[in-house]
Amino acid sequence: MSTPLEKPQIIAHIQKSLNYTIFDSKWIPCSAKFVCMGNFARGTGVIQIYEIQRGEVQLLKEIEKAKPIKCGTFGATSLQQRHLATGDFDGNLHVWNLEAAEVPVYSVKAHKEIVNSIDGVGGLGIGEGAPEIVTGSRDGTVKVWDTRQKDTPVANMEPVEGEAKRDCWTVAFGNAFNEQDRCVCAGYDNGDIKLFDLRNMSVRWEKNIKNGVCCVEFDRKDINMNKLVATSLEGKFHVFDLRTLHPTKGFASVSEKAHKSTVWQVRHLPQNREIFMTAGGAGNLHLWKYEYPAQRCKKDAEGVDMGVAGTVNLLQNVTLSSQPIASLDWSPDKQGLCVCTAFDQSVRVLIVTKLNRV
C-alpha cells in the first residue's frame, strides 16, 4: 500500500469455515468469546461458542436446537449472568444460560412466523430501566418482552386489522436514557421505518425509505436518542438526526449509496457512536464516520426549528467475501475488535486499527 497508513485499517485476523449457515454472531460481554447462531443443513438450529486464543478461534461448545436460530442478543442480561436471548425460525423467543443450555431460562412462542430480528436493552449496564427484549417477525408484529412476565409480551406493535401484514425485518432499542423513556425502531420490507415510543405507547415518527429496511440501529441505546442509521435493500443507508423533529419534514437525514448491493447490517462502534460499519451483500465492509454540521438545528422559512443533517465520510472499505455478510458485531470490551459472518459459511474476526485517532 502506497498511502501512509493513517486511516483505520481493517485486518482479517482470523477466518474459520463452518459447516452450517450462520445467521448471527455476538460477542459474549466481558470475554474473548463469541457465539455463532445458525442453521444446520439437516434443518436444526445451532449455537456455537468460540473463544479467540492466540490468533485462533477455538470451539468451546456446540448446542443443537430443534429450530434454526435466526438472531440473538445479550442486551437484556446482566454482566454476571450473560444469558443469550434468541429468536428462531418458528417464532420462538428463548433465553439460554449458555453454561447449562439444555433447557431455556425463558421460553415463549413469540410470533406466528420467523423472528427476523431481536434486540435487548437494560442489561450489561446499557440503558436505564427494566431489561427488555424486542422481537420483530415476518408476521408483521413487533413485541417487547420482559422475562419476568410469562407468555405475553409487555408491549405489542401489530398491524391494523385487515391491513396487509408487512414483514418486519429489523428492530432496535434506543432512547433508554432514564427509567421511563424508551423507544423501539422497526424497519419493514416495504421501506417503512417506525419509531415507537414505549413510554406513551404511540408511534413517534414514521418514514418510508422506498426500499426494504434491512437494518436499523441507534448510535447508542442508552442516551437521549441522537442518531439512527437505517440500511436498505438497494445499497443505500440513511442517517437520521433524531434531535429535532420537524412537524412536516420529520427528522433531517443524510443518505449515502454505500454498496452496490443490499446493506445487510449496520453496527456502531460501542466506544465511539460517530463511527459505524456497514456490511454489504457483496461481501464488503465499509467503515464510516458521521460528522456533525456546524449547527444541528436551524429555522425554516416559517421560523420553525428543523434539524440539519451532517455528512458521512468513508474511512475504509474492504471486500471479504463474495457472499453477503449477514451479521457483524463489535466487541464491547476491546475497541476495534469485531466478528462477522458471511453466507459463505465462514466466521471472521476482524481488527480495525487506529479507531481512536479518527
Partner 1 sequence: MSCLSGQERGTNKVPVEHLDYSFIEKCTDVRYLEKILRILRSGEEGIFPHLIEYCEKHIRKLDPKSRALRKEKPPATAASFTKEEWSQITDELKTWEEEIKVNEVKIKQTPLLCNEENVPPVRGSHCSIQVKSYSIGANKTKKNAAPPRDYRDWDKFDVEKECAKIDGDITENEPAVIINHGLPKIRRKMDTAALTEQEKIQLADREKDKGNEAFRSNDYQEAVAYYTRSLSVLPTVAAYNNRAQAEIKLQHWHSALADCQKVLEMEPGNLKALLRRATVNKNLGDLQIACDDVKTVLCSEPQNMIAKRLLEELNTLMRKNTHGVASKGKKISIQEVEEECEELEQELPSHKQAKGFSQRVGGDSSRSTAPKERGDMGNTHKKSHGRNEGVGGGGSPHAEPQHAWRGKGGKNANKYKVQPNGEAPDSDRDKDKLSNGNCRGQPNDSKKTEQAEEKVNLDAPAGALPPPLARLKNEGNQLFKNGQFADALEKYSQAITGFTEAGIDSPEDLSILYSNRAACYLKDGNSTDCITDCTRALELQPFSLKPLLRRAMAYESLERYQKAYVDYKTVLQIDMSVQAAHDSINRITRLLIEQNGPEWREKLPEIPVVPLSAQRHRVEAPPTAEEAQARAERAAQEAAKRAEAQFTVLKMEGNDFVKKGQYQEALGKYSKCLTLKPDECAIYTNRALCYVKLERFSEAKQDCDSALRLEPSNKKAFYRRALANKGLKNYVACSSDLKEVLQLDPTVQEAERELEEVTMLLKNSQDSPDKPRRNVPITEVEEGDEEETQAPSRGPEEVKENSPGSQNHCSDGPDANAQPTNAYDFGQALNAACSRGDVAACTELLRSTSPEKLPLYICSHLDGHTLSFIIKVLDTHLMETDPKLVYQHLSHLHTADRFSVVLMLLDDNERLQMTQLFEHLSAVECEDFSNTDIQNLASKYIRASV
Q: Which helix (H) or strand (E) element contains residue 264?
A: strand 263-269
Contacting residue, 36, 71, 242, 266, with partner 1 by CB under 8 A: 242
Contacting residue, 320, 326, 339, 342, with partner 1 by CB under 8 A: 320
Query: How far, in Å, CA of 100 to CA of 85, rounded?
Result: 14
**By CB under 8 A, residue 148 contacts partner 1:** yes
Are the C-beta atoms of 340 and 9 separated by less than 8 Å? Answer: no
- Which CB sits closer to partner 1, 43 or 150? 150
The minimum distance between CB 216 and partner 1, in angstroms, equals 14
- Which CB sits closer to partner 1, 146 or 234? 146
Determine the distance from the C-alpha atom of residue 270 to the mean position of all C-alpha atoms in its chain, rounded to a whole number. 12
**By CB under 8 A, residue 100 contacts partner 1:** no
Are the C-beta atoms of 96 and 102 separated by less than 8 Å? Answer: no
Are the C-beta atoms of 251 and 240 separated by less than 8 Å? Answer: yes
**By CB under 8 A, residue 113 contacts partner 1:** no
The minimum distance between CB 270 and partner 1, in angstroms, equals 8
271's grid cell: 466506544
Contacting residue, 194, 238, 267, 289, with partner 1 by CB under 8 A: 194
- Which CB sits closer to partner 1, 40 or 282? 282
Query: How far, in Å, CA of 22 to CA of 341, rounded?
Result: 6
Are the C-beta atoms of 94 and 86 separated by less than 8 Å? Answer: yes
247 exposure class (CB count in 10 Å sphere: 0-12, 13-18, 19+) = exposed
63 exposure class (CB count in 10 Å sphere: 0-12, 13-18, 19+) = middle
**By CB under 8 A, residue 63 contacts partner 1:** no
**By CB under 8 A, residue 81 contacts partner 1:** yes
CA atoms within 13 A on the CB side of 106: 21
**By CB under 8 A, residue 41 contacts partner 1:** no
**By CB under 8 A, residue 317 contacts partner 1:** yes
Query: How far, in Å, CA of 144 to CA of 198, rounded?
Result: 9
**By CB under 8 A, residue 149 contacts partner 1:** yes
Contacting residue, 21, 44, 107, 244, with partner 1 by CB under 8 A: 244
- Which CB sits closer to partner 1, 17 or 19? 17
Are the C-beta atoms of 339 and 24 separated by less than 8 Å? Answer: no
**By CB under 8 A, residue 144 contacts partner 1:** yes
The minimum distance between CB 38 and partner 1, in angstroms, equals 23
**By CB under 8 A, residue 202 contacts partner 1:** yes
Query: Which of these segments, 42-50, 112-120, 123-131, 228-236, binds partner 1 (CB under 8 A)?
Result: 123-131
The minimum distance between CB 149 and partner 1, in angstroms, equals 5
- Which CB sits closer to partner 1, 30 or 66? 30
Site string for partner 1, 328-347 (x = CB under 8 A): -----xx--x----------
Burial 206-244 (b: 16+ CB within 10 A, else e): ebebebbbbbbbbbbbbeebbbbbbbbbbbbbbbbbbbb
The minimum distance between CB 40 and partner 1, in angstroms, equals 28
Count of other CB atoms within 10 angstroms of residue 341: 30
196's grid cell: 415507537
- Which CB sits closer to partner 1, 66 or 203? 203
**By CB under 8 A, residue 220 contacts partner 1:** yes
**By CB under 8 A, residue 126 contacts partner 1:** yes
Query: How far, in Å, CA of 120 to CA of 172, rounded?
Result: 8
- Which CB sits closer to partner 1, 266 or 269? 269
Count of other CB atoms within 10 angstroms of residue 151: 9
Q: Looking at residues 289 to 308 of the shown chain, list those that interact with partner 1 (rule: CB under 8 A).
A: 292, 295-297, 304-306
**By CB under 8 A, residue 322 contacts partner 1:** no
288's grid cell: 464510516
**By CB under 8 A, residue 60 contacts partner 1:** no
Query: How far, in Å, CA of 192 to CA of 290, rounded?
Result: 23
